Amino acid sequence: MTSLFHPLTKTITQLDLQFCGRVETIAAYLFYDGETAALVETGPASTADTLLESVQAAGVPLEALRQIFVTHIHLDHAGAAGVLARQLPWVRVYVHPIGAPHLADPSKLLASAQRLYGDLMQPLWGTILPVPRENLIVVNEGEEIPVPGSVLRVLETPGHARHHHAYWDTASGLLFTGDIGGVRMPGVQYVRPPTAPPELDLEAWRASLARLRALEATGLCLTHFGLFRGNLAWHWDDLEQRLVAWGEFVRQQLERGADEPAIQRALAARAAAEFANLGVDPSTYDVAISFESVVAGYVRYWKKKS
């Protein structure tokens, strides 16, 4: 079995939640200074048990866990927050002000996801529970929050979602990007834009990328998946050019009268051609963000613009 955890620094450990039984698809990040612990991301409720097992496997007692930071409230990033808050009632969950009401009452979030995922809701995401309001802490742009061994700076980063934060570790220089930093698998020179509906905003996303570039982070900790160091300018460039190019491709397909299934097939074929030169299996990317979601996000964006 692949290890559930991988140390990145003396105080930060990467956790593999093994979503849908697959490795290197959804990560969470654990801070621990020997006394207290914090998490960035929870993953979905379907992997909550794996998350707690991996925390303990990394040598951290569950009673040490005090803080949970979610980059945004989509189910693959924050779906387990309610489960964890019920099992560990002393934990505080840090979240964007727009996202906080939906963690306290996830009914609208679940209704929207149900329309997209249908019968796959339960096997993919598990049972989503509300986070008790007393466990929620709203955080805003520019706040600096002490965590074990460091301080996290909150960065407003819309584009993928209006309720999106990135977190910059001021001690190590590592940047926890959520989805604004794209989807990239270990050892692969390819970044896919996760353009899921309903709040894709290309202009806001590009502005967020410009802001994150300027940080000159020492490494990027992606939820999908893992730590990337070195040549980060290439990473930002690859993500931004594909974010824009795929958007133009979808817009052109819409202008020609193509429906969403046809656009999905056409974009998948385009991506397969891009991957052909890499010699790697693209299926893990498809699990992290499907072409159905990618195209649906672009289509909604262009319809709102028209």
Q: Residue 231 falls within a domain, yes or no?
A: yes
**Is 283 a member of any domain?**
no
The model's pLDDT over 158-169, given as tens digits with 9 standing for 90+, comes to 999 999 999 999
C-alpha span between 169 and 144 (Å, rounded): 10
Tell me: pLDDT of 41 over 90. yes
The CATH number of residue 66's host domain is 3.60.15.10
Is 211 within a domain?
yes
Under the banding of pLDDT at 50, 70 and 90, the label for residue 242 is very high
pLDDT exceeds cutoff 60 at 115: yes
Q: Is residue 36 part of a domain?
A: yes
Give the pLDDT of residue 1.
Answer: 45
Q: What percent of the chain has pLDDT over 70?
A: 99
246 is a domain residue: no
Q: Given a cut of 50, is residue 146 above it in pLDDT? A: yes
Two tokens at 241?
A: 């050019």
Q: How far apart are CA 89 and CA 95, in angstroms?
A: 17
- Is the pLDDT score of 78 beyond 60? yes
Supply the pTM of this predicted model: 0.96
Q: Is 134 domain-assigned?
A: yes
Burial bucket for residue 133 (CB in 10 Å: 0-12, 13-18, 19+): exposed
Residue spans of alpha helices (H) in the chain: 48-57, 75-78, 81-87, 100-104, 107-117, 121-125, 202-215, 232-255, 260-276, 283-288, 291-305
Report the mean per-residue pLDDT for the chain.
Answer: 95
Gap between the Cα atoms of 181 and 224, Å rounded: 9
Instruction: Mention every residue, 6+ apart, whose C-beta is less than 8 A from residue 191.
Output: 182, 183, 184, 235, 238, 239, 242
Q: Does the residue 204 lie in any domain? A: yes
| pLDDT, tens digit, 9 for 90 and up, residues 134-145 | 999 999 999 999
Total structural domains within the chain: 1
- Owning domain of residue 76: 5-241
Contact 186, 24 (CB under 8 A): yes
Q: φ, ψ for residue 208 (rounded to 5)?
A: -65, -40
- The answer to whether the beta carbons of residues 246 and 293 sit under 8 Å apart is no
Question: For the segment 98-107, what is each residue's pLDDT rounded down to a tens digit?
Answer: 999 999 999 9
Residue at 110 is within a domain: yes
Averaged pLDDT, 280-300: 90
